Structure 1
Amino acid sequence: MKRILSTIILCGAALAVAAQPHEPAAPLAARVDSLSAEVAALRTESGTWQKIVARLPRISGYVQTGFDYATDASEFRLRRVRLNLQGDILRDRILYRAQFELAAPRIVDAYIEYRPFAQLNFKLGQYKIPFSIENTDYAPLKFELIEYPMALQRMMGLSERIGDKSLSATGREMGLTLYGGFLQRDGRRLVSYDVSIFNGAGINTRDNNRSKDVAVRLTLRPLAGMQLSGSYYRGEFGPEYLLRERYGAGVCYDRGAVVLRGEWVGGRTGTPSVDGGPTGRFRSSGWYALGGWRPHAHWTLVARYDTLLADTSAHASRQTNYTAGLTWQPLKWLRGQLNYTYEDYKISAAENRHVGSLLLSAIF
Structure 2
Amino acid sequence: MKIIRPILFFVALAMTGNIFAQNNLGKQAKEDLLQKTSFGGYVIGKASANDQDIYGSNKSHTNFDLRLARLYVDGKVLDFKYKFQMEMNGVSGTSKEKGPRIVDAWAEWVRYKFLNIRFGQFKRAFTFENPMNPWDIGFGSYSQLIDKLAGMNDRVGEHSSNGRDIGLQLQGDFLPIGKDNHNFVHYQVGVYNGQGINHSDENRSKDIIGGVYVYPVKNLAIGAFGWTGEYSKNGINVDRNRMAVGLKYEADWTVRAEFAVSEGHKVDDYESDGTLKNGTSDKADAWYIAVGAPLSKKCKVYAKWDVYRDNKEWNTQKSLYCLSANYYFCKNLKLQANYNYTCDKTTAGDSHYNTVDLQLYWRF
TM range (shorter): 0.7 to 0.9
> Offset at 1:199?
0.2
1:296-318 deviation per Cα after TM superposition (whole angstroms, max 9, x unaligned): 11000110011111102x43210
Match of 1:253 among 239, 249, 253: 249
Q: Distance in 2 between matches of 1:84 and 1:337?
A: 23
Q: Following TM superposition, by how much is the alpha carbon of 1:55 offset from its aligned partner in structure 2, in angstroms?
A: 4.7
| Alpha-carbon separation, structure 2, partners of 1:278 and 1:288 | 31
Matched, 1:213 2:207: yes
1:298 maps to amino acid:
K
Structure-1 separation of matches of 2:331 and 2:160: 30
**Inter-CA distance 113–253: structure 2 relative to 1 (3 Å threshold):** same
Look up the SS of the partner of 2:196 in the other structure: coil
Give the helix-richer structure, 1 or 2.
1
Which of 264, 269, 283 pairs up with 1:269? Answer: 264
Say whether residues 1:89 and 2:77 are aligned partners: yes
TM alignment of 1:1-364, pairs within 5 A: 51=31, 54-55=34-35, 57-72=37-52, 73-90=61-78, 93-103=79-89, 104-136=99-131, 138-162=132-156, 165-185=157-177, 186=180, 188-238=182-232, 239-256=235-252, 258-272=253-267, 273-274=270-271, 275-277=273-275, 282-312=282-312, 314-347=313-346, 349-351=348-350, 352-364=352-364
Structure 1, unpaired ranges of 5+: 1-46
Q: What CA deviation, in whole Å up to 9, does each residue of 1:96-124 have, x standing for no partner?
A: 11011111311010000002321111000
Contact persistence 1:219–1:229 (CA under 8 A): yes
Paired with 1:189 and 1:106, the residues of 2 have a C-alpha distance of 36
Q: Which amino acid aligns with 1:158?
A: M
How far 1:52 moved relative to its partner?
A: 7.4
Deviations 1:218-256 (A, max 9, x none): 011110210001100111110432101111001111222
Contact 2:36 2:77 in 1 (8 A): no
Unaligned runs of 5+ in 2: 1-26, 53-60, 90-98
TM-score (norm 1): 0.81
User: What is the alpha-carbon distance in structure 2 between the residues aligned to residue 141 and residue 340 of structure 1?
Assistant: 17
Q: How many Å separate the matches in 1 of 2:44 and 2:204?
A: 38
Tell me if structure 2 keeps the 8 A contact 1:152–1:265: no
SS at match of 2:155: strand
Q: What secondary structure, in the 3-state scheme, does the structure 1 residue paired with 2:162 have?
A: coil
- Aligned residues of 1:243 and 1:281 also touching (Cα < 8 A): no
- The 1-side partners of 2:76 and 2:181 are apart by 22
Larger Rg: 1
Q: Counterpart of 2:130 in 1: which secondary structure? A: helix
Q: Is the 8 A contact 1:55 1:89 kept in 2?
A: no
Does the aligned pair in 2 maintain the 1:159–1:168 contact within 8 Å? yes
Using the size of structure 2 for normalisation, the TM-score is 0.81
CA distance 1:187–1:107, change in 2 (3 Å): farther
Q: Aligned pair in 2 of structure 1 residues 53, 287: CA closer, same or farther (>3 Å)?
A: closer
**Does the 8 Å contact 2:37/2:73 carry over to 1?**
yes
State how far apart, in whole Å, the 2-side matches of 1:292 and 1:83 are.
28
Aligned to 1:7: none
- The AA in structure 2 aligned to 1:289 is I
Give the superposition deviation at 1:357. Answer: 1.1
1:161·1:167 contact (CA, 8 Å) conserved in 2? no
Between the two proteins, the alignment pairs up a number of residues equal to: 310
SS of the residue 1:167 aligns to: coil
Question: Which has the larger displacement, 238-247 or 51-60?
Answer: 51-60
Aligned-residue offset at 1:339: 0.3
Matching residue's letter, 1:355 = T
Distance in 1, matches of 2:229 and 2:51, equals 38
